[in-house]
Homo-oligomer: A and B are copies of this chain.
Amino acid sequence: MANKKIVSRDVDFAKWYTDVVSAAHLASYSNVKGCIILEPYGYLIWERIQEIMNKMLKASGHQNMAMPMLIPENLMKKESELIEGFAPEVAWVTEGGSNKLEERMCIRPTSETLFSDYYSNIVKSYRDLPIKYNQWCTVMRWEKETRPFLRGREFWWQEGHTVHETKEEAEEETRFIMDNVYKKLFYDYFAIPAITGLKTKSETFAGAEYSITIESLMYNGVSLQSGTSHYFGQKFSKAYDIKFLNRENKLEYAYQTSWGVSNRMIGAIIMVHSDDDGLVLPPKIAPIEVIIIHIGDDLEIKTLANTYKEKLENNEISVTIDDSSKTPGYKFAEAEVKGIPVRIEIGRRDLENGKVTLVRRDTKEKKEISTDADIVSVIKEMLDNMQSDMLERATKRRDKMTYTANNLEDVKKIMEGTPGFIKADWCGSLECEQKMKEIKGLKSRCILENTKPLTGKCVVCGKEAKDLVVWGIQY
């Protein structure tokens, strides 16, 4: 009984995706080209993600703050790689009120310039360091083709910008964010077995010395760059003059990092876990974990529903009762489309037998429990199982869709079927990277670290391999 508003994901994955987004009321198109409206249910998921990340970031000494949304062109130009990277895709404000501006300003596509300019004013001594700031905001990039959550002109994200006394500390921060914040977020909360590694030179962030990326594999085998953490070394501090007196009382340029994840993560959650009935949300990020649906509404049913709600809420499980006048079938479908992890059905007949029915969203598995059962522990166990089962299933799929290739023939053969992650050795040359692109647009996703090459020969040119790279089709 698939949802009528949603095409099957095996028939038309792209349409299935947008169908799920709109059927679950996560986002809708606006009359502002390329910009979406984040609807209340989508926003609740975003708030949940913010809550989880804020806890992690604050616990590790990061502080939230906020920068202006505009960047004067001159300020942007100070770091040449950055302006080259972003100039073609920014929105320019040229008029304020009724006057033409003397200098145009862009709406931030990212805020390295503003943070660096600010840091050049406030950093004086090693005693001022480290500074670990983060901001939640929207940024704007003038994309031509857009898709809800995956690519949009305006999108919601967090951007962290830190300044350190030493190279080591800055590199440690770059790693910390990837390993202890982003990876944790993906594995422990999103149930997504994302892989991490270095970006190749051509895919490195404009202005960074290196970028670490977290890449997820979607249900259809396509890869999604899901977050990045950049080490800047002294590139920005030299361009923006961020100097401090070090412990030897000498002036030194500071070491910086930046890192960000966006509402694209919501796109990843959809494309990894959801099905033809709509959204499937990992319990740990579901804004509503349990929905109670009446079948009939006599007093006994209502009382039990309220008792369950109270007990669960007292144990910090978010619950809602659907006591609307819609039919049970309609309510079930709606709860499914929204991906609510567990549904409790309370019906007259079951109740007479002292039972209620629980249904898990991911497997549709039904479980009858006695009305005497301890509802809190039953639900907690169900949610925990669902969370870990979802990660396990996604991991199995990822592993099944991860291939190894020793030469171009292997690569082409793999790409005749469903794509996935392709592991293959690489010599490090841009030329070979571009040759891979000719095969259905394959791009390097990341360089695996601390792993040995497969054959020791570049998959393209056959020369000595430098790295083992994961390749894939990207969103």
**A interface residue numbers (CB < 8 A to B):** 28, 30-32, 35-40, 42-44, 47, 63-72, 75, 87-98, 104-105, 107, 114, 117-118, 121, 133, 138, 140, 142, 154, 156
B133 & A30 in contact (Cβ 8 Å cutoff): no
Which residue of B is nearest A98, CB measured? B88
* Cross-chain contact of A40 among B39, B40, B65, B154 (Cβ < 8 A): B65
Please give the distance in Å from A207's CB to the nearest CB on chain B.
19
A93 & B92 in contact (Cβ 8 Å cutoff): yes
* Cross-chain contact of A65 among B39, B91, B105, B133 (Cβ < 8 A): B39
A32 & B70 in contact (Cβ 8 Å cutoff): yes
Which residue of B is nearest A120, CB measured? B31
Please give the distance in Å from A40's CB to the nearest CB on chain B.
4
B95 & A91 in contact (Cβ 8 Å cutoff): yes
Which residue of B is nearest A113, CB measured? B31
Which residue of B is nearest A101, CB measured? B91
- Complex: A142 Cα to B96 Cα, angstroms: 6
* Cross-chain contact of A154 among B36, B68, B118 (Cβ < 8 A): B68
Closest 4 CB pairs of A and B: A35-B68, A40-B63, A92-B95, A38-B66
* Cross-chain contact of A37 among B43, B67, B94 (Cβ < 8 A): B67
| Known A43-B64, A65-B40, A96-B142; contact A72-B114, beta-carbon cutoff 8 A | no
Contacts of A39 in B (CB 8 A): 65
| Known A88-B98, A98-B88, A117-B31; contact A36-B93, beta-carbon cutoff 8 A | no
Contacts of A63 in B (CB 8 A): 40, 43-44
A69 & B37 in contact (Cβ 8 Å cutoff): no
Please give the distance in Å from A7's CB to the nearest CB on chain B.
22
- Complex: A428 Cα to B114 Cα, angstroms: 49
A93 & B96 in contact (Cβ 8 Å cutoff): no
Contacts of A90 in B (CB 8 A): 96-97
| Known A30-B67, A69-B154, A118-B30; contact A40-B96, beta-carbon cutoff 8 A | no
Which residue of B is nearest A30, CB measured? B68
B89 & A91 in contact (Cβ 8 Å cutoff): no
Which residue of B is nearest A39, CB measured? B65
Contacts of A92 in B (CB 8 A): 93-96
Contacts of A138 in B (CB 8 A): 66, 69
A91 & B93 in contact (Cβ 8 Å cutoff): yes
Which residue of B is nearest A46, CB measured? B66
